[in-house]
Amino acid sequence: MKKYLVLCVFVGSLSSAFTQEQAMKLSSGQIEVLFLKQNLLLMAEQMNIDKADAAVLQAKLWDNPTISVGDMNFWQTGKEKQFSLEISQLIQTANKRAKRMNREKSAKAIALAEFENVLLELKRELRQTIHEIIYLQSYQKALDNQEKSLTQLIEAYQKQLTKGNISKTELLRLQSSLLELMSEINENAVAFQEQQKNLKSLLNTEQEIAIENEDHFKTPETFSLSELQETAMENRPDIRREQMQAQYYKKSLTYEKSLKIPDITVSANYDRYGGVWENFAGLGVSFDLPFFNRNQGNIRAARADIRQSDYLAQQQQNTAQNEVTEAFNNYLRIYQFYRKINENNLSGELDSMLEIYSRKLLNKDVSLLEYIDFMSTYKNNKQILFSAQKQLNLSFEALQYVVGKEIK
């Protein structure tokens, strides 16, 4: 009897992982709002956009003028002290500053697309975690129902055993079934805690979270494969990133070509007692002679970058189309399976039959073997139903992910 009480306490402690009063009860929509506010990876990725803004700002700036003082005679004092003064300014030719700024704006567009891609991946991970937790919560309720039924039967059988109405073997068989159930409850609790860890990391919180059971799928009749493929071409951030990368290299080529033209440095200088005249003021201009280095290597590399980016952009589009086709076919198949097994209220009927079988066993209307066989059927069918619901939601999220947009 003492061993049985310890067993019941242990089973209850495992179930408490799913029913903690301090857990926040949130819908999936509320969780996503919290995710957008608090996810650290999104905050870190946002810094890349800020850095791209800073690069655009830096490209807008003019070069600073240069001032130099020289030829100063430290031994001479007074009005006849010798020194020279020069101020110079670099003037970029061929509109280099604007071309460099345009290139950095393309880099910012790439950073924006990369941010959207990270957001899309994290949202998919978040939603997968949500559906895993919902599945584990639902399956735990089925295990709790079995645990409750077995506990009540064991208590009743213990009383019958003391009266000599049943054999010890029958009681041991029920207790063995409870031990097996306990093991599965433990495995479920471990899986639940792992998903809770993932969810808390994504939300940047230490609070346990209970999630309301919701379905997020749409019927396949509301959209078509061709529409989804077209939507993917327009909305997937990885495709847009490759397209922006191609634009970046084209603007980079324009900038590299402008570097062939030498910049000009203009200067004004004043020299006191440094030459023939007592006070000399003059102007100067200097620039490179582009005899050897006309930036040929960088221009050639920029052209290669453009060709390479075109190939990668086309490859990304091909990959996206194939991914949409695969995800759509998977979703269609899983949806048909889910609809077929939910044509009747099997889940509710199983719960009712569990109570009926428990009463029939106490009344000797069914054998212990029949009861245990039904318990196995109950658990397996519940698992199939909950797993089908989870797989349907996950496949829909996978479809939205490869499309790159919420499917309305």
| Both structure tokens of 255 | 């900038």
- Give the Cα separation of 227 and 326 in Å (integer): 14
What pLDDT is stored for residue 214 in this prediction?
77
What pLDDT is stored for residue 275 in this prediction?
67
In a structure prediction context, what are the per-residue pLDDT tens digits for the chain, which is 408 residues long?
444 444 454 445 445 455 555 678 999 999 999 999 999 999 999 999 999 999 999 999 999 999 998 777 666 666 677 778 999 999 999 999 999 999 999 999 999 999 999 999 999 999 999 999 999 999 999 999 999 999 999 999 999 899 888 889 999 999 999 999 999 999 999 999 999 999 999 999 999 999 988 777 888 988 899 999 999 999 999 999 999 999 999 999 999 999 999 999 999 998 887 666 778 888 999 999 999 999 999 999 999 999 999 999 999 999 999 999 999 999 999 999 999 888 777 777 888 898 899 889 888 899 999 999 999 999 999 999 999 999 999 999 999 999 999 998
Within-domain flag for 408: no
Interval 379-396: pLDDT, tens? 999 999 999 999 999 999
Within-domain flag for 150: yes
| Both structure tokens of 305 | 């970058």
- Give the Cα separation of 30 and 214 in Å (integer): 12
CA dihedral 376, 379, 381, 386 (to 10 degrees): -170
DSSP 8-state symbol, 217: -
Q: Strands 24-26 and 83-91, how do they pair? A: unpaired
324 contact partners, CB below 8 Å, separation of at least 6: 225, 228, 229, 232, 399, 402, 403
What pLDDT is stored for residue 386 in this prediction?
94
Interval 31-82: pLDDT, tens? 999 999 999 999 999 999 999 999 999 999 999 999 998 777 666 666 677 7
Helix 225-235 and helix 296-341: axis angle, to 10°? 140
β-partners of residue 68 are 86
Within-domain flag for 148: yes
Reported in sequence order, the residue ranges of 237-278 that DSSP labels E, i.e. its strands, are 264-272
- Work out the number of other CB atoms within 10 angstroms of the CB of residue 17: 19
What pLDDT is stored for residue 78 in this prediction?
64
- Give the Cα separation of 302 and 256 in Å (integer): 8
CATH number of the domain that residue 64 is part of:
1.20.1600.10
246 contact partners, CB below 8 Å, separation of at least 6: 306, 309, 310, 313
Domain boundaries, position 277: 2-403
Asked whether 152 and 4 are in contact (CB, 8 A), the reply is no
- Give the Cα separation of 157 and 362 in Å (integer): 8
Q: Which ranges of 91-167 would DSSP assign to H, the alpha helix?
A: 96-163
What pLDDT is stored for residue 280 in this prediction?
82
Within-domain flag for 331: yes
In one letter, which amino acid is 335? Y
Asked whether 71 and 84 are in contact (CB, 8 A), the reply is yes
Within-domain flag for 8: yes
* Domains identified in the chain, total number: 1
β-partners of residue 106 are none
In one letter, which amino acid is 140? Q
- Give the Cα separation of 76 and 133 in Å (integer): 87
- Give the Cα separation of 377 and 43 in Å (integer): 48
By C-alpha distance, which of 336, 313, 331 is closest to 407? Answer: 331
CA dist 89 → 24, 84, 108, 167, 270 (Å): 63, 17, 29, 105, 15
Tell me the CB-side half-sphere exposure of residue 75, using CA atoms within 13 A.
Answer: 0
pTM across the whole model: 0.87
What pLDDT is stored for residue 1 in this prediction?
46
